[in-house]
Amino acid sequence: MKPFKPASFTAALVCASALTTSLPANADIWGYVDAQGVAHLADHQVHEGYMLFKKEAPRPVVEAFNPPPLYERSPGGGGAIQVNAALRVAIAPMVAQVAREYDLDAALLHAIITVESGYNPQAKSPAGAIGLMQLMPETAARYGVKNIWDPMENLHGGARYLRFLLGMFKNNLDLALAGYNAGENAVVRAGNKIPQYAETQAYVPSVLTQYDRLRSPGSPGASTIAPTWLPERQQLLIR
């Protein structure tokens, strides 16, 4: 191989590096000039004839971008509840429509959804309850829900069941909520009282806490929920 003077070697590589666009923008440049005086560039040492022509400075460490969480914490009767705030806004018009259809307070439906699923339409409990309103498959079938995973159908099924419970327990919201969680037969067996199940005992005050919060003017999310204001929660009338 014909030897080259360092100056010629460097000049050839400078010219080649100025013309090439094939190497990554942030890469080391290794150079080799063959016997015919042709400069070859690479981002690594192809063979021992290649010399490091340009060393790329170490890239600064950039912290990973952490987008804001989709979830917020909503105060509950037994502790904070995780709520998907973005889905809450998206689902609010459907909740308002279903509430009007079944003559229910939209804020009440929102309170139940908050506790049941946190607005996750894909939620499934260990017991098999599904969707926004956490319907059991047999309850969904009972109220004509064909696709339990569909948010609107799930809302309709839950609202129908809630309206039935309010009628059965003469507008006693505490008992209606207990029935929604444990089943109406469990409430009847308990002597028309909240059953002594730990889950139901925690569930009823948790939903009522959310309901009272959502019915308070100026509460977080009130503008997206637009509930019907009622003076007392026991005054849910069947028309």
Residues 175, 127: Cα–Cα separation, whole Å: 21
Q: Read off the tokens for 227.
A: 């509930």
Spot the catalytic one: 63, 72, 116, 232: 116
Single out the residue of 162, 197, 167 nearest to residue 179, CA to CA. Answer: 162
Active site residue 116: yes
The helix (H) or strand (E) run that includes residue 82 is strand 79-84
The helix (H) or strand (E) run that includes residue 160 is helix 151-168
Single out the residue of 195, 230, 238 nearest to residue 111, CA to CA. Answer: 230
Question: 84 has which bridge partners?
Answer: 71
Residues 112, 209: Cα–Cα separation, whole Å: 10
Residues 162, 211: Cα–Cα separation, whole Å: 14
Catalytic residue numbers read 116
